[in-house]
Amino acid sequence: MRILHVIPTLNPAMGGPIEGVRTLFTYVNEGYIGEAVTADLPDAPWLQGLAFPVHALGPSTGGTYGYNARLLPWLRANIDRFDGVIVNGLWQYNGLPAMLAARGRKPYMVFTHGMLDPYFKRRYPLKHLKKVLYWYPFEYWVLRRAYRVLFTTETEERLAQESFAAWRWRPQVVPYGIRAPQSRPEDDISTFLEHVPAVRGKRFLIYLSRIHPKKGCDLLLQAFSEVSASDPDLHLVMAGPDETGWIPELKAVAEKAGCGHRVHWPGILRGPAKWGAFRAAEAFILPSHQENFGIAVAEALAAGLPVLLSDKVNIGDMLVGEGCSLIQPDTLDGTRHLLESWIAMHPSDRQAMSEHAAECFRSRFDMLETAQVIMSLFRQAQLEGGKR
């Protein structure tokens, strides 16, 4: 089945949705033949060497909205080559031309990737007013006319209904995750230690996501500073891109508390270095204020890593009772409790959590099932004549 993904960029620095799309395209042998159309430059470094076709139309205009005059003509000229179209994300121009080009010709679905979470309405009320202006004439119809609107958890689907007074779509909760690493653990760990040699032989927790206020990085640094004296051998690795120039302020928190030498900032970790970080760490921690799914959580589980999460990470609802997670509120107290609970835990209990993590990944978060469900939905659309 040939499926087109419409997405602004495939730059992996932009987070989990990009990683999800790139992972889906690895299931060619299972029949998932993917292509992508983006607003990347054709010579963008992250597009080089990919094993699937990418139609890079060049930069968009119109600021964050991402208007691209080349997208609608390209879609109209090429859409008949595909069995279905997936729009990734909301609040950019991508959805409108996909709807216009697909209507009456091909079924399309929308992956919201958490962008309807009411957190954004509460946290950024002025931005929400702008979204209201776009919602009723455009985005509402993109979702309403989609064959399915895809959510990764039941929590995400439920919360999506709270953002706007008027909504109407055909929801579908689909499994989501990653492809398990195929590399040797010792090779990955060696690559990681080349990036962060200061933690060689050390115990550490890994945070791996964007350095962004939404992710609760300040809570983590403050909590670590407060509890670090109770476990002087424990280090913290803060891996990810700094989108807002926040790192100097965060570093100052740890330096003031006297534990700055135990917090490490390697930037973005990819490929073997990323998997090495997961394989070498004691646990993964993410105290986010809003997280639709958290692809890094699934990656941690795939490496057999226990996960310490805030209760705003939606995937957490799926982990209750699995024995691989600790979950607390997205507050300073909650984040402190996560660290204190981990530090107080007996090594045998930590090992049991690690074993449960690996089993939980195998049963819940292998991306192959995602690919199969998406193909099944498009086959169903074809049987129903689902050209909306």
Q: What is the pLDDT of residues 192-223, one digit of tens each?
A: 999 999 999 999 999 999 999 999 999 999 99
**Structural domain range at position 212:** 185-364
Q: Given this model, what pLDDT does residue 123 score?
A: 79
C-alpha distances out from residue 319 to 18, 160, 192, 326, 335, Å = 23, 21, 27, 9, 18
Q: Residue 119 above 80 pLDDT?
A: no
26 and 169 housed in the same domain: yes
Per the CB < 8 A criterion, the answer to whether 294 and 286 are in contact is: yes
- How do residues 173-197 score in pLDDT, each as one tens digit? 887 777 778 889 999 999 999 999 9
Lowest mean pLDDT among 26-35, 56-65, 271-280, 327-336: 56-65
Together in a domain, 75 and 131: yes
> Do 268 and 149 lie in a common domain?
no
**Tokens read off for 194:** 């080349």
Examine the domain organization and report whether 43 and 68 are in the same domain: yes
Q: Mean pLDDT throughout 356-383?
A: 89
Look at the chain and report how many structural domains it folds into.
Answer: 2
Same domain for 377 and 349, yes or no, is no
User: Looking at residue 195, what is its pLDDT?
Assistant: 95
Span 235-282, pLDDT tens digits:
999 999 998 899 999 999 999 999 999 999 999 998 999 999 999 999
Which residues are CB-neighbours of 25 under 8 A, at least 6 positions away?
A: 32, 34, 36, 50, 51, 52
| Structure confidence at residue 310 as a pLDDT band (50, 70, 90) | very high
pLDDT value of position 364: 80
Confidence of residue 38 (pLDDT cuts 50, 70, 90): very high
Kindly report whether the global pTM for this prediction surpasses the value 0.75.
no
**Which is more confidently placed, 69 or 163?**
69
Instruction: Judge if 170 and 259 occupy the same domain.
Output: no
Judge if 45 and 123 occupy the same domain.
yes
Q: What pLDDT, on the 0 to 100 scale, is given for residue 366?
A: 75
> 264 and 195 in one domain?
yes
Q: What integer pLDDT is reported at residue 286 of this predicted model?
A: 97
Residue 386 above 60 pLDDT?
A: no
Mean pLDDT of 63-79: 91
Question: How confident is the prediction for the chain on average, in pLDDT?
Answer: 91
Are 244 and 307 in the same domain?
yes
Q: What is the pLDDT of residue 176?
A: 79
Indicate which CATH number applies to the domain containing 23: 3.40.50.2000
Q: Are 352 and 335 in contact (CB under 8 A)?
A: no
> In angstroms, rounded to a whole number, what is the distance separating the alpha carbons of residues 216 and 206?
14
pLDDT at 35 over 60: yes
Residue 362 has pLDDT above 90, yes or no: no
The string over 262-271, giving b where at least 16 C-beta atoms fall within 10 Å of a residue's C-beta and e elsewhere, is bbbebeebee
Q: Do 303 and 255 belong together in one domain?
A: yes
For residue 369, the model assigns a pLDDT of 82
Residue 132, pLDDT score: 82
Which tens digits make up the pLDDT trace of 149-161? 999 888 889 888 8
**Residues contacting 198, CB < 8 A, separation 6+:** 235, 264
For residues 163 and 208, membership in a common domain is answered with: no
Task: Write out pLDDT tens, residues 323-334.
Answer: 999 999 999 999
Assigned token pair, 153 = 């958890």
Q: What is the pLDDT of residue 349?
A: 97
- Sign of the torsion formed by the C-alpha atoms of 280, 238, 273 and 190: negative
Question: What pLDDT is recorded for position 357?
Answer: 95
Percent of the chain with pLDDT strictly greater than 70: 98
Same domain for 371 and 355? Answer: no
- Say yes or no to pLDDT of 375 above 80: yes
Which residue is it, tokens 């959510």?
151
The tokens describing 41, both together, are 């430059």
Count how many residues are written for the chain. Answer: 388
Angstrom distances, CA of residue 310 to CA of 42, 303, 329? 39, 20, 5
**Please, which pLDDT band fits residue 62 given cuts at 50, 70 and 90?**
low
